[in-house]
């Protein structure tokens, strides 16, 4: 005689230690199987978009650091591009090369964090996470040399960066590029061929490329399903049209594919950085204050600039009414939009895979709630 | 091949087992006898014979010495360096601060036949309890009066003590960071060893030349 079972609803979060920040879900289980998921957002809402309406254009750079706090440089870059579009600022070439180096370094750091936490969720407690964090520390040290801060950088300004890189930066960058390449090899050697990781991640949370495109999901999640969509290639901003890199694609569209795409993308970022070092030319790092004053007053109008962030398309939409601060700022946050298919991914999977799927999405609650 | 990946992973973790640690002991670290003698500038044998109990304690790991964290020169710390002689009370820093935490009250300071009227600072408060150390105030200062500091160990028991006034700024140790002050990097000034007491030695980051000024304000007009 079969046992009679009833679905049970469990509240996960907002303080559950493995839910990637303050994310809350109401999950209904039937035994081990997930039947229904209801996400609840907003526990980290700080009103960044509203706060931007009462700050000047140069002051908002500090707010963008705190949105996605593991990829602040990329947020800075997207925002400065939007301001440059709005005010018709011509950036200084050296400043642009420097911010490309900084944002590619930040992409590597962000992917290291994503990889480490994915493995933490798999149950590899501690070791792989600490290895990844150790390598990220190198990059944070480089940021400290560049701008004096490790996480809340505020390095970029409309028109370039605020200060040229110090002399100690370039040898340190060369050294860390080699170190990072070695550590990526190490990660691949002990993780990419590991049977436990194969059995836990292959074939879980498979999404079709059609549904991913329909839900406007971007970034490594989309590229893991075989859709060749990278804004650095499709719509080159800054000097990305002058560097060459390979677009990483995988067709499986499962958790393993997402992990694999991220690891391979780190190698491509290293290649881009070494090309930037070759191409960088001496000169000023930002336009003079006569051309771009600290207090810019753009003409009434709007602008949208998007970059390929570490999690997907990161866009800033600015509306100006002619004043010193924007009339409205909107952020297209990839973390939030990548959660659109959360229900489709989770329903039908087992409880043990729930947090693994979470780790493979690579969400950041600071960006989801803003 | 099944079963090959796991031992390969174990070999890598075993290799990492013998690496030197990357973590830093803070605020105190344990030292060996040799290191202790080196820090205090003593001969290791003399130390052992003069203070045998201490030496045994050190070798057992019971004694610790304060350690420091490696910082870069541009570190944005919370002990601001401020030269009051340079400040003209223009309040650029207060205007540029995203949080509005700098309070400035100025009074007429006197009249000089050559320079005209001047203003003097009466109140200059920075509420570092709300400060996020973005450095925009330092960037805005046109006369290089305000600098970020490199020190960060300034905790208090009372929230009100976090408001640093003009007097506190004058007393504090002046080891400015080279954030937005390239002249310190050019002069190879090391804020972790040296400090600047005199504002004449601090230098200016952008002093336009006479020709440029003449072109901008006389010829182009």
pLDDT tens-digit map of B7-44: 887 888 888 888 888 888 888 887 777 777 787 777 77
Q: Is A32 on the interface with B (CB under 8 A)?
A: no
Domain assignment of residue B46, yes or no: yes
Neighbours of B104 (CB within 10 A): 20
Domain assignment of residue B215, yes or no: no
pLDDT tens for B86-133 read 888 888 888 888 888 999 998 887 777 777 788 888 888 888 888 888
In A, residues 269-328, which contact B (CB 8 Å cutoff)?
A: 294
Q: Do A144 and B9 touch (CB under 8 A)?
A: no
Same-domain check for residues B27 and B92: no
Domain assignment of residue A369, yes or no: no
Closest CA to A160 of A68, A232, A84: A84
Judged against a pLDDT cut of 60, whether residue A17 lies above it is answered with no
Judged against a pLDDT cut of 70, whether residue A208 lies above it is answered with yes
Q: Is B9 on the interface with A (CB under 8 A)?
A: yes
The pLDDT of residue A164 is 86
Same-domain check for residues B32 and B93: no
Nearest CA in chain A to B139: A162
Q: Which helix (H) or strand (E) holds A331?
A: strand A328-332
Domain assignment of residue B17, yes or no: no
Mean pLDDT score across all residues of chain A: 87
**Summary count for chain A: helices (H), strands (E):** 15, 8
In sequence order, the β-bridge partners of residue A29 are A8, A34
Nearest CA in chain A to B15: A186
Same-domain check for residues B98 and B59: no
Judged against a pLDDT cut of 80, whether residue B199 lies above it is answered with no
Question: A108 pLDDT band (50/70/90 cuts)?
Answer: very high
Domain assignment of residue B179, yes or no: yes
Q: Which helix (H) or strand (E) holds A150?
A: none
The pLDDT of residue A147 is 87
User: How far, CA to CA in Å, does A202 sit from each of A18, A174, A255, A353?
Assistant: 21, 36, 6, 11
Same-domain check for residues B54 and B102: no
The dihedrals phi and psi of B43, each to the nearest 5 degrees, come to: -75, 140
Select the residue from A148, A154, A189, A285 to test the B interface by mutation, using most B Cβ atoms within 10 A. A148
In B, residues 44-73, which contact A (CB 8 Å cutoff)?
A: 71-73
Q: Is B190 on the interface with A (CB under 8 A)?
A: no
Nearest CA in chain B to A124: B9
Its ipTM equals 0.80
Question: Which two three-digit tokens encode residue A170?
Answer: 């370039």
Domain assignment of residue A216, yes or no: yes
CB nearest to B76's CB, from A148, A164, A166: A148
Separation of alpha carbons A72 and A65, rounded Å: 5
Q: Do A186 and B75 touch (CB under 8 A)?
A: no
Same-domain check for residues B191 and B82: yes
CB nearest to A148's CB, from B3, B132, B179: B179
The pLDDT of residue B190 is 81
Same-domain check for residues B39 and B94: no
Domain assignment of residue A274, yes or no: yes
The pLDDT of residue A327 is 92
Residue B103 maps to which CATH number? 3.30.70.3270
pLDDT tens for A266-282 read 999 999 999 999 988 88
Same-domain check for residues B187 and B110: yes
Q: Do A294 and B134 touch (CB under 8 A)?
A: no
Mean pLDDT score across all residues of chain B: 82
Q: Please, which residues have CB within 8 angstroms of residue B92's CB and are 6 or more apart in sequence?
A: B140, B141, B142
Separation of alpha carbons A291 and A157, rounded Å: 13
Same-domain check for residues B33 and B84: no
Domain assignment of residue A45, yes or no: yes
Tell me the residue range of the domain where B167 lies: 77-201
The pLDDT of residue A14 is 79
Question: A159 pLDDT band (50/70/90 cuts)?
Answer: confident
Q: Is B132 on the interface with A (CB under 8 A)?
A: yes
Domain assignment of residue A2, yes or no: no
Q: What is the 3-state secondary structure (H, E, C) of A21-73?
A: CCCEEEEEEECCEEEEEEEECCCCCCCHHHHHHHCCCCCHHHHHHCCCCCCHH
Domain assignment of residue A3, yes or no: no
Q: What is the mean pLDDT of residues B60-85?
A: 83
User: How far, CA to CA in Å, does B21 sit from each of A134, B15, B17?
Assistant: 10, 13, 9
CB nearest to A62's CB, from B71, B134, B148: B134
Peptide bond just before A95 cis, omega within 30 deg: no
Domain assignment of residue A312, yes or no: yes
Peptide bond just before A71 cis, omega within 30 deg: no
Q: Do B98 and A62 touch (CB under 8 A)?
A: yes
The pLDDT of residue A18 is 58
Q: Do A191 and B9 touch (CB under 8 A)?
A: yes
Q: A127 to chain B: which residues are within 8 Å by CB?
A: 13
Question: A78 pLDDT band (50/70/90 cuts)?
Answer: very high
Same-domain check for residues B96 and B169: yes
Judged against a pLDDT cut of 90, whether residue A233 lies above it is answered with no
Give the number of domains in chain A.
1
Question: B1 pLDDT band (50/70/90 cuts)?
Answer: low
Which of B70, B104, B134 delimits the end of a domain? B70
Residue pointed to by tokens 């962000």: A110
Same-domain check for residues B149 and B188: yes
Residue A202 maps to which CATH number? 1.10.645.10
Domain assignment of residue B66, yes or no: yes
Nearest CA in chain A to B182: A163
Q: What is the mean pLDDT of residues A120-130?
A: 81
Same-domain check for residues B118 and B165: yes
Separation of alpha carbons A46 and A36, rounded Å: 29
Domain assignment of residue A152, yes or no: yes
The pLDDT of residue A19 is 63
% of chain A exceeding 90 in pLDDT? 14
The dihedrals phi and psi of A42, each to the nearest 5 degrees, come to: 105, 10
Domain assignment of residue B12, yes or no: no
Torsion of CA B186, B192, B198, B202, to 10 degrees: 20
Residue pointed to by tokens 């150790």: A134
Tell me the residue range of the domain where A317 lies: 8-364
Give the number of domains in chain B.
2
Same-domain check for residues B54 and B143: no
Rounded (5°) CA angle A249-A250-A254: 140
pLDDT tens for A302-357 read 999 999 888 889 999 999 998 888 999 999 988 889 888 888 888 888 888 888 88
Domain assignment of residue B211, yes or no: no
């Amino acid at each position: 005689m079969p046992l009679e079972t009833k679905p049970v609803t469990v509240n996960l979060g907002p303080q559950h230690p493995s839910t990637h920040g303050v994310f809350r879900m109401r999950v209904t289980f039937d035994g081990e199987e997930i039947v229904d998921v209801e996400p609840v957002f907003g526990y980290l809402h700080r009103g960044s978009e509203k706060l931007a309406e009462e700050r000047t254009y140069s002051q908002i750079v500090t707010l963008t650091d705190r949105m996605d706090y593991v990829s602040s440089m990329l947020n800075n870059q997207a925002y400065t591009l939007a301001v440059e579009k709005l005010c018709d600022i011509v950036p200084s070439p050296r400043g642009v090369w420097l911010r490309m180096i900084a944002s590619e370094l930040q992409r590597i750091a962000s992917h290291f964090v994503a990889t480490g936490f994915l493995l933490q969720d798999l149950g590899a407690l501690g070791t792989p996470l600490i290895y990844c964090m150790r390598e990220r520390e190198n990059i944070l040290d480089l940021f400290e040399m560049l701008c004096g801060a490790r996480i809340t950088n505020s390095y970029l300004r409309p028109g370039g960066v605020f200060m040229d890189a110090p002399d100690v930066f370039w040898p340190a960058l060369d050294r860390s590029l080699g170190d990072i390449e070695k550590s990526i090899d190490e990660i691949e050697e002990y993780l990419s061929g590991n049977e436990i990781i194969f059995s836990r991640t292959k074939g879980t949370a498979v999404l079709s490329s059609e549904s991913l495109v329909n839900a406007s999901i971007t970034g490594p999640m989309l590229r893991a399903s075989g859709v060749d969509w990278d804004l650095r290639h499709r719509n080159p901003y800054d000097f990305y049209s002058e560097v060459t890199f390979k677009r990483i694609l995988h067709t499986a569209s499962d958790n393993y594919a997402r992990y694999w795409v991220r690891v391979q993308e780190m190698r491509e970022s290293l290649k881009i950085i070494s090309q930037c070092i070759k191409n960088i030319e001496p000169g000023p790092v930002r336009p003079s204050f006569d051309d771009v004053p600290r207090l810019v007053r753009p003409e009434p109008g709007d602008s949208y600039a998007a970059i390929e962030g570490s999690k997907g398309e990161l866009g800033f939409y600015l509306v100006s009414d002619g004043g010193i601060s924007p009339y409205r700022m909107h952020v297209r946050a990839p973390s939030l939009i990548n959660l659109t298919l959360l229900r489709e991914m989770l329903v039908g999977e087992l409880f043990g895979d729930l947090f693994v799927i979470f780790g493979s999405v690579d969400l950041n609650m600071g960006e989801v709630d803003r | 091949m099944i079963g090959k990946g796991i031992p390969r992973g174990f070999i890598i973790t075993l290799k990492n087992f013998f690496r030197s640690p990357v973590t830093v002991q803070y605020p105190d670290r344990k030292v060996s006898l040799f290191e202790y003698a080196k820090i205090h500038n003593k001969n290791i044998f003399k130390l052992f014979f003069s203070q045998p109990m201490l030496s045994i304690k050190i070798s057992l790991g019971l004694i610790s010495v304060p350690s420091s964290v490696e910082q870069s020169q541009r570190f944005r710390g919370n002990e601001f360096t401020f030269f009051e002689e340079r400040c003209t009370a223009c309040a650029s820093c207060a205007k540029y601060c995203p949080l509005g935490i700098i309070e400035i009250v100025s009074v007429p300071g006197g009249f000089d036949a050559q320079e005209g009227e001047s203003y003097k600072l009466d109140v200059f408060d920075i509420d570092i309890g709300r400060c996020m150390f973005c450095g925009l105030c330092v960037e805005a200062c046109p006369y290089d009066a305000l600098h970020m500091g490199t020190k960060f160990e300034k905790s208090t028991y009372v929230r009100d003590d976090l408001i640093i006034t003009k007097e506190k700024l004058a007393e504090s140790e002046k080891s400015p960071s080279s954030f937005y002050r390239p002249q310190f990097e050019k002069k190879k000034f090391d804020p972790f060893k040296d400090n600047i007491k005199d504002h004449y030695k601090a230098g200016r980051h952008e002093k336009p030349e006479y020709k440029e000024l003449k072109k901008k304000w006389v010829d182009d007009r």
